[in-house]
Structure 1
């Protein structure tokens, strides 16, 4: 499949499909002239004329252009071909964090995890400075390049993007990374991103989610259960995580947003200081709204 647009800047050959959701398709493509690889995102053909989806795609492009940060995947722009719009991103040769975590034989050193977290935090700090929250931080939205650098993708997606996920898909779903206040219907803010970072960090270090939930239940029920469960101490599941690091992650996972770090910059400082923080029981927090029924 090729695009032979009159604008040679937008002349691409589709190499393969990288990802397909219910609404969007993401391709690996190569530029005709430069032979450079890029990523193209477009709306699935059956929904290509939907104005809301086209507005969403344009919003993702605008936010991406605004976010000029070494740890956020670069957005190059948008072009139209036929009746479809395409957003163009840099292609990062590497694997998503979700792909890496599927390989249970990989043992991740704490120092390397801290380097990844440092890069992710830098990207989120830049976004928050610009008034942009991510709202969907999860392993599928982090790419680790071949040289070990983390890159964040997925800015500009709707708050409830996890609603479009296939409930029968394998692996850990994005809903489990959503902050309680977002799950309960609120809008994401910096505190919500901090919560998601906490879930992400725990998963990378421990190889599982921070709570003991029943995986036979629906994903929504599992999320509800997580709001009422204590965070599992890594020692109890046989994981050697430094106590200071566990205490920092635990603070990120407070149900009450006001009990988390007040900013990602302060979280970054805590990771640099490597000082243990007093751990208070999660049960002392109270969800800000009733837990929705399934």
Structure 2
């Protein structure tokens, strides 16, 4: 695999391999950055591979929206030679699984800190409607400095080889929530249960429901659904009692009795030394009813498992045969249509029936068209193009660092920001920075096409806007399309129509800058939208103007620390 490319990424070595896929160390030659490439292995049956690949790519693109210091960043997704791949952040450090292998238990403060960081990541994912579904030590990376990052959001839905048709465990689902065990729909509270199981293992050296020497999965599933876990202080009285209360909520059988947001769990973990954690144990009678219901669900699941598996296998065989027959008919139809198309195209180009000699003029026209397709364009300065690409690369690196600063520091602008409907806001809070780029081929060389820099601003306190009733639907639609949070206080007349509304909004208000390479004229075009000023602005900078100092002026302009960059906007 070494030396192979996935897209533009050059593989330099293998990092690991599992039942479903492999992970490689690779180089992004355009910005000279090391990345990790995760790809599916090609051994799945073809009819399953299509669905798995589509889900793999779809969920990776969804997870690519997540930008958080405790989540592994996804840079790119794609396909190469029929194999789907994800390009992601290359992490240095160890997985939590490796740490627990070397030392079965972690210090209390370390365990609480790692769990709190993962809870922060899950809370961020909740804001995008994303459920991880596979929180476990192998998916948590910990750097030498103690930074924890949650990985594998993009493949959480992939089927795993955790169970054969007989129910024997190939990799016990020790971290699954009860609703996952019995096949019910899951939401972010299932991830909280899984994180509770990980925390329990860090504190005690084992997960809450496993038993030594066990070789089948059904006994474990039964305990997850029906049996309470042993309090950690019962296994080790030296542990702080706060962890019993935290884990009682995280590992509650019913999602309604757990933490409703992972952020609440993170706060309790960071305060385990101080304030007691509120207990929200349900009434004993209610708990017994819930346990009985879950047990009944588990019994039904166990009783019908073999029948469902057999039916599924038979249905898959029928579907496979039908699909093969349909595919063969489609191939034959496409071959006939392609043959007819080629005949008609030949006749259209040559004015003759297929097989006769085309005129010399037609051949000459084709040769000229082919020549134009490979020409680099008249007057293109290859050296200038290289310099433009180098400046865009510098801009990408600078804006990536600026995005990180926005996400970690949430700076406050010293100068006002103008935002839609509200107008100017003072002390705007900057956050959610994101930087990306796209490439293109110029004169046979891959260069930067454009760099995109996005961020959002929030009001320090909600701003209010008065809207007349007739305008409210349009304003509401605009705010929802921009994902700006707002609350509407409506005033209605005697017949129930809205005559006016007071909107309270605090953001976030999106801002964007796109830096495009002007390879024809040797410069950079900037397209700004809602950057300090409301609306869209386009300016062009000559290559000699787009220096590091000007790039820094743009950065301080974004931060509201300086207005010197406005001299370029005054050209408009």
The bucket for the TM-score relative to the shorter chain is 0.7 to 0.9
Give the superposition deviation at 1:157. Answer: 3.2
Q: Which TM-score applies when normalising by structure 2?
A: 0.46
| Aligned position for 1:63 | 62
CA shift, 1:108, in A, is: 2.1
Equivalent position of 1:38 in the other structure: 35
Does 192-201 or 266-275 show the bigger shift?
Answer: 266-275
Partners of 1:28 and 1:39 within 8 A in 2:
yes
Conservation of the 8 A alpha-carbon contact between 1:14 and 1:29: yes
Partner residue in 2 for 1:270: 268
Task: State the match for 1:2 in structure 2.
Answer: 3
Is the Cα contact below 8 Å between 2:21 and 2:41 reproduced in 1? Answer: yes
Q: How is 1:246-261 mapped onto 2 (pairs within 5 angstroms)?
A: 246-261=244-259
* Structure with the higher fraction of residues in strand conformation: 2
Match runs of 1:95-134 below 5 Å: 95-104=94-103, 108-134=106-132
Q: What is the SS of the residue equivalent to 1:290?
A: helix
> Residue deviations 1:159-181, cap 9 Å, x none?
57444568665xxx461111101
Q: Is the 8 A contact 1:120 1:152 kept in 2?
A: yes
Which residue of 2 is the match for residue 141 of structure 1?
139
Aligned partner of residue 78 in structure 1, secondary structure:
strand
Query: What SS is found at the alignment partner of 2:213?
Result: coil
Deviation at residue 62 of structure 1 after TM alignment: 0.6
Count of paired positions: 286
Q: CA shift at 1:117, angstroms?
A: 1.7
1:218 to 216, 219, 227: 216
TM-fit CA distance, 1:2: 1.7
Note the alpha carbon deviations across 1:103-129, whole angstroms, 9 max, x for none: 13x652222222212211111111001
* Residues 219-252 of structure 1: per-residue CA shift (max 9 Å, x gap): 2332223333221122332353210122111111
Shift of 1:204: 0.8
Out of 258-267 and 196-205, give the one that drifted further.
Answer: 258-267
* TM-score, structure 1 as length reference: 0.85
Change in 2 beyond 3 A, CA 1:31/1:148: same
Structure 1 unpaired stretches of 5+: none
Instruction: Check whether the contact 1:184–1:290 (CA below 8 A) recurs between aligned residues.
Output: yes
Quickly say closer, same or farther: Cα 1:107–1:138, change in 2 above 3 A.
Answer: closer
Contact persistence 1:38–1:91 (CA under 8 A): yes
Moved more, 52-61 or 250-259: 52-61
Alpha-carbon distance change, 84 to 161 in structure 1, aligned in 2, over 3 angstroms: closer
Change (3 A) 1:183 1:157: farther
Q: Which residue of 2 aligns with 1:290?
A: 297
Aligned residue in 1 for 2:227: 229
Gaps of 5+ in 2: 306-572
> CA offsets, 1:10-34, max 9 Å, x none?
131231241221x322222234565
Counterpart of 2:50 in structure 1 is 51
CA distance in 1, matches of 2:226, 2:84: 43
Match in the other structure for 2:180: 182
Which secondary structure does the structure 2 equivalent of 1:79 belong to?
strand
Instruction: For residue 158 of structure 1, report the CA deviation from its aligned partner.
Output: 5.0
Q: C-alpha displacement at 1:195, in angstroms?
A: 0.8
Shift of 1:150: 0.6
| Alpha-carbon distance in structure 2 between the residues aligned to 1:48 and 1:31 | 31
| Structure having the higher Rg | 2
Q: Which residue is 2:86 aligned to?
A: 87
Distance (whole Å) between structure 1 residues aligned to residue 280 and residue 9 of structure 2: 55
| In 2, Cα distance between equivalents of 1:130 and 1:83 | 29
What's the RMSD between the two structures over aligned residues? 2.8
